[in-house]
Amino acid sequence: MRPQNLSSVLIGLALVAGSAQAASAAAPVAAKTNWQETRHGEVVTDDYRWLQKKTDPQVIAYLEAENAYTNAETADIKPLSDKLFAEIKGRMQETDLSVPVRRGRYYYYNRFEAGKQYPINCRRLAGKDLAYDDKAPEEILLDQNALAAEYKFFSVNGLSVSPDDSLLAYTTDTTGFRQYTLHVKDLKTGKLLTASAPRVTSLAWATDNKTLFFVQEDATTKRSDRLFRMKLGSAPQQVLDEPVEQFSMRVGTTHDRKFIDVSFHSTDTSETRLLAANRPDGQFRSVLGREKGHRYSVEHRDGQLYILTNKDAKNFRVVSAPLATPDPRHWKELVKHDKDVLIQRLEVFRDYLVLEEKASALNRVRIHDFKSRGWKTVQFDDPIYAARGNGTPEFTATRYRLSYQSPVTPPTVLDVDMASGQRTVLKRQEVVGGYDPSLYETRRLWATARDGVQVPLSAVFKKGVKFDGSAPLLLYAYGSYGISTEPTFSLQRLSLLDRGVIYVQAHIRGGSEMGEHWHDDGMLMKKKNTFTDFIDSAEFLIREKWTSPNRLIIQGGSAGGLLMGAVTNMRPDLFHAVHAAVPFVDVMNTMMDASLPLTTGEYLEWGNPNEKAAYDYMRSYSPYDNIERKAYPAMLVTTGLNDSQVMYWEPAKYVAKLRTYKTDNNPLLLKINMGAGHGGASGRYDALRETAFQSAWMLSQWGITE
Angle in degrees, CA 669, 688, 415, rounded to 5: 135
Three-state secondary structure call for residue 608? coil
Angle in degrees, CA 187, 170, 684, rounded to 5: 110
Inter-residue contact 549 to 576 (CB < 8 Å) = yes
Contacts 24+ apart (CB under 8 A), 365-373: 365/389, 365/400, 365/402, 365/416, 367/400, 367/416, 367/418, 367/421, 368/334, 369/418, 369/419
Query: Per this entry, what is the length of the chain?
Result: 706
Edge-to-edge order in the sheet of strand 285-286:
248-253, 259-265, 270-276, 285-286
Residue 27: partners with Cβ closer than 8 Å, 6 or more residues away: 11, 12, 69, 659, 668
Q: Which residues are catalytic?
A: 558, 643, 678
> How many C-beta atoms lie closer than 10 Å to residue 630's C-beta?
12
Alpha-helical (H) ranges within 582-636 are 587-591, 603-606, 612-619
Q: Per-residue DSSP letters for 20-67?
A: TT-S--PPP-------EEEETTEEEE-TTGGGG-TT-HHHHHHHHHHH
Parallel/antiparallel/unpaired status of strands 473-476 and 552-557: parallel
As a whole number of angstroms, the distance between CA 292 and CA 99 comes to 42
As a whole number of angstroms, the distance between CA 518 and CA 648 comes to 30
Q: Per-residue DSSP letters for 385-403?
A: -EEEE-----TT-SEEEEE
Inter-residue contact 13 to 68 (CB < 8 Å) = yes
Inter-residue contact 315 to 338 (CB < 8 Å) = yes
Three-state secondary structure call for residue 305? strand
Nearest by Cα to 491 from 430, 439, 443, 555: 430
As a whole number of angstroms, the distance between CA 642 and CA 54 comes to 10
As a whole number of angstroms, the distance between CA 313 and CA 570 comes to 36
Residue 135: partners with Cβ closer than 8 Å, 6 or more residues away: none
Nearest by Cα to 456 from 489, 521, 505, 405: 505
Inter-residue contact 593 to 599 (CB < 8 Å) = yes
As a whole number of angstroms, the distance between CA 342 and CA 200 comes to 31
CA dihedral (236, 242, 248, 249) positive or negative: negative
Nearest by Cα to 492 from 692, 687, 685: 692
How large is the C-alpha radius of gyration of the chain? 26
**Residue 150, phi then psi, degrees to nearest 5:** -95, 10
For residues 345, 250, 524, 291, the Cα torsion angle rounded to the nearest 10 degrees is: -80
As a whole number of angstroms, the distance between CA 305 and CA 393 comes to 18
Inter-residue contact 96 to 111 (CB < 8 Å) = yes
